[in-house]
């Protein structure tokens, strides 16, 4: 029994030591993860934060891994998956409470089933509620800042805290949590608007069709690779720079939508990062625009 297993012997937190970042991310790239934890309660999450402090380890919190590029060299930090924090309940006056590990698609469908509008944009976003709050996910004119009213989380010491309203500090693809990645989101309360179920389902179906028609959903990716530059679109700039379809190994600028970098099958994290840099350099040279990466890099440099 090594030092880690001795430390964990006092807990009942589920974990794995035979996992890769490729298994944990929608890009399907990345080397071995030293350890991945699956806490199932607030108490386990708090205990894990304290254990990491004792072991001198950094924690990395993940949901569905849909906005992450995994390092080919793996990750020595402790990875914590929120996928077992799956509370989902209907409150009063249009409120829904969702655990950090609930998939956004599931919450969107749950809202529609209860004739609540405001989450239609999330139908098709391949992440979790925690990840959506972390990055203020959005699409088709909707975003998490418009509907998020309260979030329960643990700070870096394991203390239970609450954010309400403007305390979330939402910005474009950012929040209090993206600025404080040592905090762990537990659950979020959403405030939605009563509506007509048939109309809500109709908007969701429209968004699904538009995604299927315009996005390269048939390949592993992390969604939109770059943040939208002010007054323009990353995809347009990349296409105008002549990079649509450009590839390094199996990493490619999508031929369907230039705002997406895809894994054609056997791409590595290094190839994806190299391609991102090429795109940023070419767009800067051609248009003078600095494209900011929307996806996070996970693991060893």
Known catalytic residue at 224? yes
- Cβ atoms of residues 298 and 75 within 8 Å: yes
- Cβ atoms of residues 130 and 152 within 8 Å: no
Per-residue CA distances from 4 to 18, 55, 196, 250 (Å): 14, 8, 53, 36
Options 71, 82, 108, 224, the catalytic residue: 224
The three-point CA angle 113-119-120 to 5° equals 80
Known catalytic residue at 294? yes
Residues 34 and 89: their CA atoms lie apart, in Å, by: 34
Residue 56: which region, alpha, beta or left (left: phi > 0; alpha: psi -120 to 50)? left
Alpha-carbon 250 to chain mean position: 23
CA dihedral sign, ordered 96, 165, 129, 8:
negative
- In 3-state terms, what secondary structure has residue 296? strand
Options 173, 187, 189, 254, the catalytic residue: 173
Residues annotated as catalytic are 173, 224, 294
């Amino acid at each position: 029994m090594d030092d880690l297993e001795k430390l964990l012997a006092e807990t009942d937190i589920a974990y794995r030591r035979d996992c890769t970042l490729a298994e944990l991310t929608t890009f399907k790239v990345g080397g071995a993860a030293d350890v991945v934890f699956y806490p199932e309660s607030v108490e386990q999450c708090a205990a894990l934060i304290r254990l990491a402090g004792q072991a001198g380890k950094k924690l990395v919190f993940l949901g569905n891994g849909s906005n992450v590029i995994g390092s080919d060299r793996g990750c020595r930090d402790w990875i914590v998956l929120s996928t077992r924090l799956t509370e989902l309940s209907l409150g009063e006056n249009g409120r829904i409470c969702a655990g950090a590990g609930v998939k956004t698609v599931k919450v969107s469908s749950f809202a529609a089933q209860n004739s609540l509008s405001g989450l239609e944009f999330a139908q098709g976003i391949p992440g979790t509620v925690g990840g959506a709050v972390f990055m203020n996910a959005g699409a088709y004119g909707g975003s998490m800042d418009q509907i998020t009213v309260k979030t329960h989380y643990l700070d870096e010491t394991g203390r239970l805290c609450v954010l309400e309203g403007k305390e979330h500090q939402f910005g474009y693809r950012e929040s209090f949590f993206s600025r404080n990645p040592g905090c762990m989101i537990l659950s979020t309360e959403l405030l939605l608007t009563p509506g007509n179920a048939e109309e809500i389902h109709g908007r969701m179906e429209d968004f699904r069709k538009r995604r299927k028609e315009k996005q390269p959903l048939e390949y592993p990716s992390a969604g939109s690779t770059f943040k939208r530059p002010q007054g323009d679109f990353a995809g347009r700039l990349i296409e105008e720079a002549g990079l649509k379809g450009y590839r390094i190994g199996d990493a490619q600028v999508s031929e369907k939508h230039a705002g997406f970098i895809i894994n054609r099958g056997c791409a590595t994290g290094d190839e994806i990062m190299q391609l991102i840099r090429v795109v940023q350099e070419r767009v800067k040279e051609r248009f003078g625009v600095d494209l900011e990466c929307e996806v996070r890099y996970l693991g060893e440099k």
